[in-house]
A and B are shown apart, each in its own frame.
Chain A
């Protein structure tokens, strides 16, 4: 019998990019065509894993935004609102199918542009984006069944501003329900991740979606502000930070604009001593290290019942050591590149802060590539509710662990935050689950699981995590008048 002590490391397994095509530079997608800006500003889209500039993106001006809104208004009045609902739905079905056909190409570009592991863009982001179009397509001609005794009517032009953590998925979350409910769209992707939204515009062209029904304007925050402040926009849908969400809510005060906000979070993930510990550990990993922790609903505050604390932390550290950090295009990568230099700096500041606050710091000693934006999965134990790393959203792979003794204590601590987007609870006892899920003040509760998403499942927060829902039957109301 041989008892070798050899290592067995995985060889590089890069996703092929030979078949993947994107343009060197992109204009603005207005009225069904890519066109240059009225100004002359462009900016580079950077691959955060290599720091290479992979495309030139156009910075839209106020005039461009105005033109996009006009195109959307025109398409709304002349075409989209007049079209039979069933036909509208068929366009959306078409988009879903085309996206499925090109799924691998989109996955590669998403990982190149945003830094997320190809495993996630391939298995989660892109299939879910297609599923969102497919789900909402079917609603187009059935809306009256969703709202008993009411007559739903579309709003007009929806202005949508989305973040960089799930670039294509967020575009789908926004565009699919807006189109299904009969609205037209002006969408701004985040400046670090414009590519898949622009590739989506190519799909709209291929689907022969009438010009102007969806317009995509790229650029920085000022472009988003121009959309939010535009007089001819009927609805604002924003996903992003709570700070910007408040600015938007204030900006549209006194206007007749409708608004849904999907903002930040600092979710509690709660492990009871009667939980299925090994699956809970996996849930903790999925909760905080999914997508480099760039997730508004990330389970960034871990609460572990004291009697199982040592076991959970031991297993958690063990599991963290099997996470592979590195090239987003490698099929074995678990944690990819941090989306931008700025975000990496923010995360590193919080890690320093955590150390200063006296928490116990742990990172596995995995290898990191020489170039690019990287952050090892990070664990802080022995933290207090009053620590800033417990209270503030870090938006990175940083977990803060507290212990608790009783149900009441953990509910109070979990709810002790201005946020209320999501929460997780792990216990094998059914009655305890229902107690917890009813007392936690958050819009999405994962019981014995974490970070699951589905187009049929409404998503959105309580308190400063925003208002309105996206997805499911409840997500339709935000795009309708009655």
Chain B
């Protein structure tokens, strides 16, 4: 950042405040509703945060659907490199994230640890991009003359209700495996601690992730539950630590188009919370059959 060479010294300089916007299709629009809310931590307001509407959900789903086929048809190696690039950019902006996490109530040590773990988690999944298929695919020995194999494919568009309490690590812990598996997603950020998620959007925007692969909304969960749960163009929902009533209503609404629901109540600081099964959780198994010709010089099958 270029420092000002003007007359006013650092001491008297007026700080430039950041406007937190949502992230849809690679752009940073304000919510179409024009609404905002002002979450507070320890009595101190975090800022004017976009209070996203159902139409923002709709727009984000359109962006995610539009990006999905292209994201999945990239090579696994390329997806791995892009995830790695996210980690690189995040590492480079450590200080900003540490500051924001502190604003959201963490101690400096805890904030630094959360940023480090988040970077490492993304790298963990970056490495899985071109490997999970080998672990989870199978060649199936069917009892007839067919080659039969099962592979994983992404479910498609996943709506993520991110961790309320772990605004950065919780977010990347679900987001990384979901996009590693070739899905695109819409993330509803922590309602009370939304700052790091929007700043993370800025990381994504500068790290080769195609627009629409990840979309980040801020707002009130209670208002949006019905809209994302009933949306017919969402294939799956991932929810971090839902309350019982919230889970109930998501699951009920989700039946409308037989959505896949995954919910997690885990401590993302725990190293066991990262594993490739989280990638598999958002994949379909596709099985393909093809005949094997049985002709040999001995004339069998002929």
Residues on A lying within 8 angstroms of B by beta carbon are 131, 148-150, 242, 245-247, 249-250, 252-254, 261, 263, 418, 433, 437-438, 442-449, 452, 454, 456-460, 462-467, 469, 472-474, 482
* Docked pose: A171 CA to B9 CA in angstroms: 80
Query: Assuming the A-B contacts A449-B146, A457-B140, are A253 and B255 also in contact, with contact meaning beta carbons closer than 8 angstroms in the complex?
Result: yes
Contact: A433 with B290, CB < 8 Å? yes
Contact: A446 with B289, CB < 8 Å? yes
Contact: B288 with A249, CB < 8 Å? no
* Docked pose: A464 CA to B257 CA in angstroms: 6
Partner pick for A253 among B155, B252, B290, CB 8 A cutoff = B252
Contact: A246 with B135, CB < 8 Å? no
Contact: B251 with A148, CB < 8 Å? no
Q: Interface segment, B93-101, B115-123, B279-287?
A: B279-287
Q: How far is the CB of B287 from chain A (nearest CB, A)?
A: 5
* Docked pose: A458 CA to B136 CA in angstroms: 13
Contact: B255 with A454, CB < 8 Å? no
* Docked pose: A456 CA to B144 CA in angstroms: 11
* Docked pose: A221 CA to B248 CA in angstroms: 24
Q: How far is the CB of B232 from chain A (nearest CB, A)?
A: 8
Contact: B288 with A437, CB < 8 Å? yes
Q: How many residues of B contact A (CB 8 A)?
A: 36
Q: How far is the CB of B292 from chain A (nearest CB, A)?
A: 11
Q: What residue of chain B has the Cβ atom nearest to residue A440's Cβ? A: B286
* Docked pose: A466 CA to B155 CA in angstroms: 12
Contact: A452 with B287, CB < 8 Å? no
Contact: B258 with A246, CB < 8 Å? yes
Contact: B142 with A449, CB < 8 Å? no
Contact: A149 with B275, CB < 8 Å? yes
The 8 closest A-B pairs by CB, nearest first: A254-B248, A253-B251, A249-B255, A454-B142, A250-B255, A253-B252, A456-B140, A447-B290
Question: Could you pull out 21 A-B pairs where Cβ atoms are within 8 angstroms?
Answer: A148-B135, A247-B255, A253-B250, A253-B254, A254-B251, A254-B252, A418-B257, A437-B286, A438-B153, A442-B286, A445-B286, A445-B287, A445-B288, A447-B290, A452-B289, A454-B140, A458-B285, A463-B235, A463-B258, A467-B260, A472-B138
Contact: A458 with B258, CB < 8 Å? no
Residues of B within 8 A of A454 (CB): 140, 142-144, 148
Q: Which of B235, B251, B289 has the most CB of A within 10 A?
A: B289
Q: How far is the CB of A196 from chain B (nearest CB, A)?
A: 21
Query: Assuming the A-B contacts A445-B288, A463-B235, are A242 and B140 also in contact, with contact meaning beta carbons closer than 8 angstroms in the complex?
Result: no
Is B89 in the interface zone, CB < 8 Å from A?
Answer: no
Residues of A within 8 A of B235 (CB): 463
Contact: A482 with B277, CB < 8 Å? yes
Contact: B252 with A250, CB < 8 Å? yes
Q: How far is the CB of A388 from chain B (nearest CB, A)?
A: 19
Partner pick for B287 among A250, A253, A458, CB 8 A cutoff = A458
- Please name 12 further chain A to chain B contacts, defined as beta carbons within 8 Å, in addition to the given A449-B290, A454-B142, sorted by A numbering: A150-B277, A253-B255, A254-B252, A437-B288, A438-B153, A443-B286, A444-B288, A446-B288, A452-B144, A457-B287, A458-B285, A473-B138
